[in-house]
Amino acid sequence: MFTCLRALALLAPLAVVAGLVWLAGQARMLSYRDDADLVVAVQETPARFNPLMPGRGAEREITELVFDRLLRLDDDLRLRPHLLERWEYRHRATCYFLDAGKAAAAAAVIDQSRDRWSDWLLEDFVLDGDQVHLISGSPERRWLDEILNGFDRETIAPLLQVRLTLRSAVAQSLGDFLAGSVEKGKLRHLDYDGDRVAHLYLQGETDLFLKELRLYYESNRNLEPEIEVMGPVDRIAELDWDAELRGDLRWHDGTPATADDLVYTFEEVTRPGSPWPLREAFGFVESMEKVDERKVRVHCREFYAPAPERWAKLPLLPAHLLSQAVGPDAWERFFARPVGTGPYRLRSAPPEGPVVLEANVDYFRGAPRQGEVRYLTVTDFERRRLDWRLGKIDVLAPASEQEWHWLFETGAKARPSIPVDTVRDAGRFQSFVAWNLDRDRFTDPRVRRGLAYLIDVEKLLATLPEPRPRAWKGLFFPGSWFCQSSPGPLAPDADLAAVLFGEAGWKRDEGGKWRTREGRVVDLTLSYDRADLLHARLAEHLAERWNRAGIDVKLEALDWRALLEERLATREFDALLLSWELDFSRDHFAVWHSSEAGPGGSNFSGLRNQQVDGLLEKLRRERDEAAVIATATELQDLVRELQPCLFLCSTGRELAFRKDAVEQARPASDGTWNRGPIAVGRAGLFASRPWWVRVAPGAPANPEPDTTSPTEP
């Protein structure tokens, strides 16, 4: 007994010391932080930062901080130069004449018409023997038509256009043919369209040349040749888009960013078999080539009015790091530790530690005032609450209704002592019901409108917990310059719905059920992603309302992959609850045009409407702003009337932040820094997020504007 007591007496001080050491460690863990750091709590550890793939949440935020795009949106949602310093169209045209004298006469007509040059955006012309070369800044062809209309058309030498298509390596193969051709003097001009297509322009008696060409490729059938005589042309025109990068761009490893990087990125994105979704965005481009260290020339297949909106999606990738990357594993390793040109560089990432970003001191717009940003993975609710109260977290995306309740519920016991505010991103994610218009029940737009009239969207959204989605406003990104009107959902009207159902041939039976002309009970299956809490709630409300109105609705909860692969891709569905992210483009051709309907098409509702098609096509070629606005507004109103989808609501990422600890310091166009409260403009979080700053304890929040000049944007 005495021995035991003695042992306890000896061990007790050690236990006390150990306990004190443990408590001190815990206190340090709970209270320590570098007050200069901006700390963001996340639910899932960000791991891949790939600007070529869609992303959400913190992973996307980090990606946008590391990588920059060629163009950016200003606060009025207008595209401005960013990595690109300037860009311009160049339309180059050549006309061939019967002889040099007739070409000189045509050149004299152009010279005498200098008062029209500004209308044509004509910059110069060159007389070259029997040819006249013209250069215009207009991307459209009307200027050239007007000039040619002033010539004596009888003096123009017609050229025969021939298209040669091979399996591959058309330039090398055609070069071999021309090296031994007897009639190659008939070839006046040659263009290549990628690796498979060549356009030949012939003048004079062309029969022998064509015979030679056909015989040559008859003996080379392994190349899968196709020779098409396209017909005569009276001019050869090439539309180019010249773009020049800034001269002060540096990769995070210090290497200058050059035109080689831009050409490499474009070719990687658009190559055959490319896995990146952006490949489909550049169908109007034939090729890109380097002009000098900063300049590239893009050869366009056709004029595409929203082209800048497509270039704005293209990031810049480092050719010096990726050109030797072989296989998907190498790309995965790069995107886990990326090197970009953005305002922040990645200093550390899992598994070595948390994601830590540090300000890029070489950033051309001026290094962000926030030197370091830490993304800490904190999944447990109680731990997040404790860390927030202890001041270890500055920003978080509330992960549950419980967390929103704790952060914002009034009352002395529930309300935290730390001032909290929120910012909500623009409503870039739209939720909607997509109807399968190939199903008999939904082919009549009166039926689709009737189903919409049964739903009170505003009342539905009011039943949802905070942060509530906002009612759908329109087809385009909120506040876009080309369509600022907000039609909103159809106003609820059950009586009008019944009228429309009757006009479509439906009748109510004695039990109140709607039946088709053939007497079948009207039913539908609404499929949705079981993991999406918002969609689950929307689906339940919609089913309840439609069932109450006499339409049998069955809900089908599926995994996201099954929803895409077994329903959407195969078009085996009645109705799907989906979401998509709005981009900043006016071109919705892929979503609504009739040519995209059917299996494999991106018009998954199956809308086929000639008027819609015409408006979509006009938006692709129209340059006049007033006409663009009128066309986009008409398209939006028409799609709302046709109801190929029942549009419900829009959501944007919502962040909570410590109001007394975070402010915004953003470079202004005059070279100064604007400091003030956190604000999200029309362009959304992506424009304001790089400029958030942690306010040190005791420092005044939102002081007078800082006039220290960053690098001029």
Q: Look at residue 711 in the predicted model and tell me its pLDDT.
A: 41
* Run of H or E residues at 626: helix 625-642
Between 252 and 682, the more confident residue is: 252
Between 703 and 574, the more confident residue is: 574
For residue 582, the tally of other CB atoms under 10 A from its CB is 18
Q: What is the pTM of this model?
A: 0.85
Span 210-262, pLDDT tens digits: 999 999 999 888 999 999 999 999 999 999 999 999 999 999 999 999 999 99
Percent of the chain with pLDDT over 70: 92
Same domain assignment for residues 457 and 574: yes
Q: Angle, to 10 degrees, between the axis of helix 401-408 and the axis of helix 381-389?
A: 20
Same domain assignment for residues 394 and 489: no
Q: Is residue 288 in a domain?
A: no
Q: Look at residue 412 in the predicted model and tell me its pLDDT.
A: 42
User: How far is it, in rounded angstroms, from Cα 570 to Cα 440?
Assistant: 17
Same domain assignment for residues 366 and 409: yes
- Say whether pLDDT at 585 is over 60: yes
Between 652 and 418, the more confident residue is: 652
Q: Is residue 451 in a domain?
A: yes
Q: Look at residue 34 in the predicted model and tell me its pLDDT.
A: 66
User: How far is it, in rounded angstroms, from Cα 436 to Cα 434?
Assistant: 7
Calculate ∠ Cα 397-401-405, nearest 5°. 95
Average pLDDT (421-441) is 93
Span 638-677, pLDDT tens digits: 999 999 999 999 998 899 998 889 999 988 877 788 888 9
Same domain assignment for residues 645 and 667: no
Q: Look at residue 13 in the predicted model and tell me its pLDDT.
A: 42
What is the three-class DSSP state of 39?
A: strand
Q: Is residue 141 in a domain?
A: no
User: What confidence tier does 466 reach under pLDDT thresholds 50, 70, 90?
Assistant: confident
Task: Give the number of domains in the chain.
Answer: 2
For residue 262, the tally of other CB atoms under 10 A from its CB is 26
Span 530-566, pLDDT tens digits: 999 999 999 999 999 999 999 999 999 999 999 999 9
Average pLDDT (354-359) is 95
Same domain assignment for residues 647 and 658: no
Span 616-629, pLDDT tens digits: 999 999 999 999 99
CA separation, residue 620 to residues 161, 320, 413, 616 (Å): 26, 36, 58, 7
User: What confidence tier does 417 reach under pLDDT thresholds 50, 70, 90?
Assistant: low
- Say whether pLDDT at 21 is over 80: no
- Say whether pLDDT at 698 is over 60: no
Q: Which of 438-452, 472-486, 497-511 shows the lowest per-residue confidence on average (mean pLDDT)?
A: 472-486
Average pLDDT (384-411) is 82
Q: Look at residue 473 in the predicted model and tell me its pLDDT.
A: 92
Sign of torsion, CA 220 226 231 237?
Answer: negative
Span 37-88, pLDDT tens digits: 999 999 989 989 999 998 888 999 999 999 999 999 988 899 999 999 999 9
Same domain assignment for residues 666 and 527: no
The residue range of the domain holding 61 is 38-74+341-423+654-694
Same domain assignment for residues 414 and 446: no
Span 144-172, pLDDT tens digits: 999 999 999 899 999 999 999 999 899 99
Peptide bond into 467 cis (omega under 30): yes
Q: Look at residue 706 in the predicted model and tell me its pLDDT.
A: 47
Percent of the chain with pLDDT over 90: 71
- Burial grade of 483 (CB within 10 A; 0-12, 13-18, 19 or more): buried
What is the three-class DSSP state of 154?
A: helix
Taking Cα atoms as reference points, which of 338, 347, 320, 316 lies closest to residue 255? 320
Q: Is residue 124 in a domain?
A: no
Average pLDDT (30-36) is 57
User: What confidence tier does 409 reach under pLDDT thresholds 50, 70, 90?
Assistant: low
Q: Is residue 24 in a domain?
A: no
User: How far is it, in rounded angstroms, from Cα 158 to Cα 162?
Assistant: 13
User: What confidence tier does 404 reach under pLDDT thresholds 50, 70, 90?
Assistant: confident
Q: Which CATH number goes with the domain that contains 364?
A: 3.40.190.10
Same domain assignment for residues 570 and 556: yes
- Say whether pLDDT at 124 is over 60: yes
Q: Look at residue 33 in the predicted model and tell me its pLDDT.
A: 56
Q: Is residue 526 in a domain?
A: yes
Same domain assignment for residues 442 and 525: yes
Q: Is residue 712 in a domain?
A: no
Average pLDDT (441-448) is 96
Computed over every residue of the chain, the mean pLDDT equals: 89
Q: Is residue 183 in a domain?
A: no
Same domain assignment for residues 592 and 457: yes
Q: Which CATH number goes with the domain that contains 470?
A: 3.10.105.10
User: What confidence tier does 583 reach under pLDDT thresholds 50, 70, 90?
Assistant: confident
Same domain assignment for residues 642 and 496: yes
Peptide bond into 351 cis (omega under 30): yes
Same domain assignment for residues 394 and 495: no
Distance of CA 130 to the CA centre of its chain: 47
User: What confidence tier does 405 reach under pLDDT thresholds 50, 70, 90?
Assistant: confident
Q: Look at residue 699 in the predicted model and tell me its pLDDT.
A: 57
- Say whether pLDDT at 12 is over 80: no
Span 598-614, pLDDT tens digits: 877 899 999 999 999 99
User: How far is it, in rounded angstroms, from Cα 244 to Cα 256?
Assistant: 14
Span 165-211, pLDDT tens digits: 999 899 999 999 999 999 999 999 998 887 889 999 999 999 999 99
